[in-house]
Structures are given as structure tokens and as C-alpha cells.
Amino acid sequence: MAGASIVSSALLDEHLPVDHRLSRVYRVGAGLTGLLLLTFGILGFAGSSDVGFFETPGQIVAGLSTNGALSVLSIAVGAVLFGGMVRGGNTASSLNIVLGLTFVLSGFINLALLETGWNVLAFQLRNVLFSFVVGLLLMVFGMYGRVGSALPHDNPYWRSRHPEQAVREERGDRAPRHTGQRHQGQRPRLE
């Protein structure tokens, strides 16, 4: 049974039409975040000619500390997010979620490495906070319309989780109705 749920979740990509409105949300999230990271990485290279690749003090660029390694990493992640934006759909959504979690995890790891010689990305506290904020934003963009208790019934994710009810609604069958009088403290009966 566990194998069947893994297969059904892997096939979820087929349930999201290419032009579905959720794809725009995933693309915007990936694109804006990718643009932000690319800009930071390029400015880091432009302004850090005298800073070493793994130098821990770093240089301040756009209010954040950076060195050569963080600039390269920012450009690489920004390019990956742009690739997700171009691809769109569930690829962009999944990429936003995974990279969002990675940013949050990176924030915690770099928080532990502050003020040590192991701080090879030249993080400061504001970099940690930036990492948390970007990670949470990416996760929100990635999970938008995918998770929640009140997804609309035309949502492809809701339809893939409730296939029998989706088929009934497509045929025009009505959901079970409540009958009888409802008295205070009693639950309604289903037909």
C-alpha cells in the first residue's frame, strides 16, 4: 500500500495542466527570487575583487556580507530558480519547496557557524535572517495551492487526492445531502 501512495504522488505532475493558474504563482516566486539572488551574486563579484574566495570577514554588498564563494553560490541558485521559472508547473513548485527548505536549513547551519573559522560563506546575522526570509518565501510560493485543508474542488491537487468525488462532481452527481431536522447538540444525518 505504501508503494501505491508513492507512485500516486510521483504521478501528481500529470494532474496539473500546463496553463493552470497555479503555474504562474510558482513561476513568479522562482523568477523573483532567482533575480534577487543573481543580482546579489553579480554585485558580490563586482564589489569583492579584493576579498578572497573563502574569506570569512567578507564584504558588504546590498546590506549583506559576501565573499567569492557566496557570490558563486548565489548565482548558481539564482540560475537554477530561473530554470524552474522557465519550466514552470510542478517543477517550479517542487524546486521552490526544496530550495526554500535548503535556505532555512542553511540559515540554521550558518547561525551555528557565526564567529567561527568555519564560516566560509562570510555569513553575518543579517545573512542568516535573509536566508530564513527567502526560504520561507520560496516555500510559500511552492506550496501555494498544493497544501491546505480548504482547497477548491477545481484544484488539480485536490482532484488527485479525491478522485472518486472529482468524478462524481464531473458527472454532475451531488454529494450526500443532510436530511432531517438539526437539533442543538446533534450531528446531521447523511442519506
Chain segment 88-127, per-residue pLDDT in tens: 777 888 889 999 999 999 999 999 999 888 888 888 899 9
- Contacts of residue 8, defined as CB under 8 A and 6 or more positions apart, other chains included, come to 160
Dist. CA 182–CA 178, nearest whole Å: 9
| 75 pLDDT higher than 90 | yes
Burial 28-58 (b: 16+ CB within 10 A, else e): ebbbebbebbbebbebbbeebeebeeebbeb
Q: Which of 20-34, 69-83, 157-171 has the lowest mean pLDDT?
A: 157-171
Give CA angle at 133 (127, 139), nearest 5°.
Answer: 135
Mean pLDDT of 23-37: 84
Cα 171 versus chain centre, distance: 34
Q: How confident is the model at residue 2 (pLDDT cuts 50, 70, 90)?
A: very low
> In terms of pLDDT, which residue wins out, 13 or 76?
76
The reported pLDDT for the residue numbered 156 is 66
CB 130 within 8 A of CB 36: no
> In terms of pLDDT, which residue wins out, 27 or 10?
27
